[in-house]
Structure 1
Amino acid sequence: MSSSAVTAPFNRDALEQVLKRRFFFAPAFELYGGVSGLFDYGPPGCAFQANIVDTWRKHFILEEDMLEVDCTMLTPHEVLKTSGHVDKFADWMCKDLKTGEIFRADHLVEEVLESRLKGDKAARGIKVEEEEDEDKKKRKKKVKEIKNVKLDDEVVKEYENILAQIDGFSGPQLGELIVKYDITNPSTGGKLEPPIEFNLMFETAIGPSGNLKGYLRPETAQGQFLNFNKLLEFNNEKMPFASASIGKSFRNEIAPRAGLLRVREFLMAEIEHFVDPEDKSHPKFNQVKDIKLRFLPSGVQESGSTELIEKTIGEAVSTGLVDNETLGYFIARIYLFLLKIGVDTNRIRFRQHMSNEMAHYASDCWDAELQTSYGWIECVGCADRSAYDLSVHAAKTGEKLVVRQPLPEPITVEKFEIEISKKKFGPKFRKDAGSIEKWLLERNQTDLESLGNELTANGKIVIKVPGVEGETELDTELIKIEKVKRTEHIREFTPNVIEPSFGIGRIIYSIFEHQFWSRPEDVDRSVLSLPPLVAPTKVLLVPLSNSAELKPIVEKVSNVLRKNQIPFKVDDSSASIGKRYARNDELGTPFGITIDFESLKDESVTLRERDSTKQVRGSYEDIIDAIKQVTYFGSSWAEGTAKLTPFESQSTDA
């Protein structure tokens, strides 16, 4: 982006008009009135998304030697029941008792409290920024009690504290806030029902009978976990290693809003890095340890603040702010990827999950959040998920999802083991014997120690086995639980998982906001400063006139661009050359090649750079080589065009 454009205020309406008019994306089924949260990508949107995915593959899969898989989007109920999605993959919604209108509870609390704070500032004579989200603006206009009402200082502090922690409140806590602060339907003032959980997965039936219940997957991770043994074998049993998957996921959002930021069908790119739980160091951590990042730790949020802490990732790991090297390595690599594709370095932060939002099995979790006109938006999650996923699927299926490694020296270990008297077990429990035995053999060391103590103390244990009616009583005639010493030559362990998870649509929209501006001399001339690497089209080929004399050189340059696989478009319309460039600036096209009558003499052409509108001239072979250097090999404009001649023109950008 040009330095002069930075001072121009961002205009979301202007951006959305460009994105709609140039068909980057549009509401799906628009002829039928559309469906909230569903969008179609047009030609420039498709190309931009494809380039981001290609860059992601190279940045992660290629550079980190990852194993890519492509798993089905249809997932049986039992898989997502085991993973916890059926029971816990939900948001909290509340309903207007009279109208039946539905709101997502956390968003409603957030919007009402933010509006009241703005009303307080207005009452105190403090200038308030204009709200740009039209839907939000309309809702807030109808909230009667926030019209320029001065709040007590203590209430202001309470609101600010709540907003700093809004991501961490449970449904019942949100319900308490709604009652405490008398939050009602913004449109009608109507009372709301207490928040209830709404599962976000799209349910379906697999097969014609309808008996096999399933869902459209809410993430791409489960297929990677279920293929762990195959991936480990493919990787010659070597640890650590990572799998990766790119594909569509689906979430039945309560209140889709903000364009691509909250949708019901979206593209995800996810990594599952399998690591030894006893060694979470990373061999390449030294390569990233000096990268400075802005962190929002959980403790800061829980104190009611949003003040960022700037540290190198090396300092963050060494001080324990980030749990381990492998998690820290991926946080840094996420940051480098986002910068590469066009995210503004000043509008990215890493927010740590608070204790009340952290999954019980996770040891640490950070979200890469990008600042937009809608606020800070979570675009990438990076979590240490411990051994949870592999453990629950192994327990459910009875299939070991473990790594087995020879020990350098045999070791003696003490373990609790259970011995089942099968001769007595079968006749006593008959059809339930298999279920009870499976339940017993799935117990971990902590469970076995507890059961063993109970058996020793009481001479029996009483257990509740899923699928078996009533309680099951087992005495010392049926089972024995003892601590046994064994010499082991093999170490067997369940890997931990570090999971970076990318929401591609959210990243795309954030980049649009970060790179959109208008030329200071003409606010109607919009520019989308997409990095050349990911720009949908790299070159606009512009013949100065429609003269037939120029067509052979246009064709010659076109053929060389095609041969070098550089995406380009020819604009030989009758519009002025300035207008032709202007309408491609808003498409994000970084370079323009002008062919004029001088080109007929020596095959020289002019190269224009989008943001600065600087121009250089040289042979078309040298110009195309400069484009390649800047686009694909990381050269700056100055470096890539060093051998070319600066060119001044009065007409190109008129």
Structure 2
Amino acid sequence: MVATLEQEITDLQEAAAKQGDVVRSLKAQAKDGKADKADVEAAIQKLQELKVELEGKQKEYEKATGKVSSQSKEAFRAALTNLLERRLFYVPSYKIYGSVAGFYDYGPPGCAIKNNLTQAWRQHFVLEENMLEVECPAVTPEIVLKASGHVDRFTDFMVTDLKTGDPYRADHLVEGHLEALLEDTKAPLAADEKREVKDLLAGVGEMDGAALGALITRFGIKAPDTKNDLSAPFPFNLMFKTSIGPKGDMVGYLRPETAQGIFVNFRDLLYYNGNKLPFAAAQIGNSYRNEISPRAGLLRVREFTQAEIEHFVNPDDKSHPKFVNVKDLQPLLYSRELQMGEEKRPKPMALGEAVSRGIIANETLAYFIGRTWLLFGKLGVNLNRMRFRQHLQHEMAHYAEDCWDAEVETSYGWVECAGLADRSAYDLRAHTAMSKTELTAYEKFPEPREVEVTT
């Protein structure tokens, strides 16, 4: 029955798409006097009937399976993308030259929406929290990104089609294959197999090349376009390399994130703030990543806008004076414990409780989780489809104290929209060592303290 419903949904989607083309064609002809108004209205009526029938089949499918059909998601995405491009919200860049994957131009309504979003972010964080806003260049000398670790470690694992040489991002291929296994109604997995696949899926993003290669071999994953065999995964640096100056002897990169501009200005920002902690610096600007296989429309592109905050605190005191304002908020938290348990679903929890139980590392991190949750609500995100997922231990960077991703459930699944992390003082230490410039703050005690020093 389910397979029949899926086929009926596919057929109706194709019929509705074709009828939509008919309606658009007749409307264009009617403007030139080449089609009757009655013909246009009849075509619209037929399209509406197809949509009603399609919606009924989709609801029938959801009732039978308890989930939305993959065809329904794909059709929704295709229809929405078509509408947004036709109305000039955004279009592929350089379209008259065939476009380049991963680059998009925003049209008038797209620019208006984006400006509203960035202004809302600036009002919510920069102005309300009295942050120090900076604007730094996108072109970054190599030494800066060498210090931060990006030159050596900012990589994704790539595989290539052994016959055509076409590149693919290894973790995306593995994720897609595992998701297809979970959604396959014709050959459903046993309960223990389903649990294993879900566990593998949860950790794909942090696997190394060897682990990804093992899964590609185990599941017989092929190149999606040709079904040819794939190479072993190998690292690919995601930064755009360039040269600075007419001699071309200074290597630079387009910045992969906006954070490093804030870190290298720490000393001046601290002085501007009266040499007092805590303080926060913020920046909105474009970042650049040479993605292996851009996909999912605007979700994974090669140039994008980031809005970033670095909040500097005394490492011995990570309390927050305004935490009381958010401690009773109950966002959906997907802690490590819940991810590794049987149920594998987020649960609402008061932020105050999460801090007291040690689920969130400290008040400052929890405060910004709460503020981020409030902002997403203001922007119209359905908070029942938003969660904060804690990084598993193997996902954590070696210097990180705690990391959470703000994720929103979309037709593509759960999509990371923001990252919140206690990075300790890793970046400041790294730039201090490389630049030989002291990036530290000193605490002034209200009264002198005597300390006995022994040698």
**TM-score, normalization by structure 1:** 0.57
Alignment partner, residue 183 of structure 1: 221
Q: C-alpha distance in 1, partners of 2:235/2:154?
A: 9
Q: Percent identity?
A: 52
Who is 1:410 aligned against? 449
Deviation, structure 1 residue 303: 4.6
Pick one of 101, 116, 120 that aligns with 1:36.
101
Return the letter of the residue paired with 2:350. T
- For residue 437 of structure 2, the aligned residue among 399, 403, 408 is 399
In 2, Cα distance between equivalents of 1:352 and 1:252 = 27
Aligned partner (choices 120, 123, 139) of residue 74 of structure 1 = 139
How do 1:17-96 residues align onto structure 2 when only pairs under 5 Å count?
17-96=82-161
Counterpart code for 1:209: K
Give 1:275's match in structure 2, choosing from 307, 313, 322.
313
The separation in 2 between residues aligned to 1:186 and 1:398, in whole angstroms, is 49
- Per the alignment, residue 166 of structure 2 pairs with 101
1:434-583 pair list within 5 angstroms = 484=455
Number of paired residues? Answer: 384
Alignment partner, residue 211 of structure 2: 173
What displacement does 1:151 show?
A: 4.3
Task: Note the aligned Cα RMSD (angstroms).
Answer: 1.8
Q: For residue 189 of structure 1, report the CA deviation from its aligned partner.
A: 2.8
For 2:442 and 2:133, the matched residues in 1 are separated by 23
The change in CA–CA distance for 1:374 and 1:150 in structure 2 (over 3 A counts) is: closer
Secondary structure, counterpart of 1:47 in structure 2? helix
Q: Match of 2:425?
A: 387
Which letter maps to 2:104? F
Give me the TM-score of the superposition, normalised by structure 2: 0.81
Tell me the alpha carbon deviations over residues 424-463 of structure 1, each in whole angstroms, 9 at most, x when there is no partner.
Answer: xxxxxxxxxxxxxxxxxxxxxxxxxxxxxxxxxxxxxxxx
Query: Matched residue of 2:394: which SS?
Result: coil
1:20-78 Cα deviation digits (max 9, x unpaired): 11111110001111010100000011011111111111110111010000001110111
Match of 2:256, SS? Answer: coil
For 2:265 and 2:249, the matched residues in 1 are separated by: 25
Distance of 2:78 and 2:190 partners within structure 1: 35
Q: How does 1:150-549 map to 2 (within 5 A)?
A: 150-303=188-341, 306-407=344-445, 408-412=447-451, 414=453, 484=455
Distance 1:274 1:12, change over 3 A: same
Provide the C-alpha distance between the structure 1 equivalents of 2:262 and 2:240, rounded to a whole number of angstroms. Answer: 20
Distance 1:191 1:12, change over 3 A: closer
Secondary structure at 1:64 match in 2: coil
In 2, are the aligned partners of 1:317 and 1:323 still within 8 Å (CA)? yes
Q: CA deviation at 1:15?
A: 1.9
Deviations 1:205-239 (CA, angstroms, capped at 9, x unpaired): 00111110000000111111111111011111111
Against the structure 1 CA distance between its residues 365 and 196, is the aligned structure 2 distance closer, same or farther, given a 3 Å change threshold?
Answer: same
Name the CA distance, whole Å, in 1 between partners of 2:235 and 2:85.
35
Alignment correspondent of 1:631:
none
**Matched residue of 1:12: which SS?**
helix
Residues 353-385 of structure 1: CA deviation (Å, up to 9, x unaligned): 111111100000000001110111001000000
Q: What is the letter of the counterpart of residue 49 of structure 1?
A: K
Aligned-partner residue type, residue 76 of structure 1: P
Q: CA deviation at 1:171?
A: 2.0
Q: What does residue 25 of structure 2 align with?
A: none
Structure-2 separation of matches of 1:413 and 1:222: 38
Residues 239, 153 of structure 1: alpha-carbon distance in 2 compared, 3 angstrom cutoff: closer
Deviation of 1:289 after TM superposition, in Å, equals 0.5
Code of the residue aligned with 2:270 in structure 1: it is L
The verdict on how the C-alpha distance between 1:95 and 1:234 changes in structure 2, with shifts beyond 3 A counting, is: same
| 1:295-329 residue CA offsets vs partner (Å, 9 max, x unmatched) | 11123334575311210111111111100000000
Counterparts in 2 of 1:186 and 1:172: CA distance versus 1, 3 Å: same
Does structure 2 retain, via aligned residues, the 8 Å contact 1:348–1:370?
Answer: yes
Q: Deviations over 1:378-405 (max 9, x none)?
A: 0100000001000110111111111122
The Cα offsets for residues 237-263 of structure 1, whole Å up to 9 and x where unpaired, read as 111000000000000001101111000
Partners of 1:168 and 1:73 in 2: CA distance:
27
The alpha carbon displacement at 1:346 in A equals 1.4
CA shift at 1:152, angstroms? 4.8
- Quick one: distance in 1 between partners of 2:117 and 2:188? 47
Tell me by how many angstroms 1:184 deviates: 1.8
Q: 1:59 to 1:150 in 2, by over 3 A?
A: closer
SS of equivalent residue, structure 1 residue 329? helix
Which runs of 5 or more residues in structure 2 are unaligned?
Answer: 1-54, 60-71
> Which secondary structure does the structure 2 equivalent of 1:365 belong to?
strand
Q: Computing the radius of gyration over CA atoms, which structure comes out larger, 1 or 2?
A: 1
Corresponding residue for residue 111 of structure 1 = 176
Paired residue secondary structure (1:409): coil
Say which structure is richer in strand: 1
- SS of the residue corresponding to residue 204 of structure 1 reads strand
Q: Is the 8 A contact 1:75 1:214 kept in 2?
A: yes
1:117-143, Cα deviation, whole Å (9 max, x unpaired): 333x2x2xxxxxxxxxxxxxxxxxxxx
- Which protein has the bigger helix share? 2
| Aligned 8 A contact 1:89 1:200 in 2 | yes
1:242–1:272 CA contact under 8 A, matched in 2: yes
Output the CA distance in 1 between the equivalents of 2:390 and 2:248: 42
Work out the CA distance in 2 between the residues paired with 1:41 and 1:109.
Answer: 32
- Residue type at the aligned position of 1:248: N
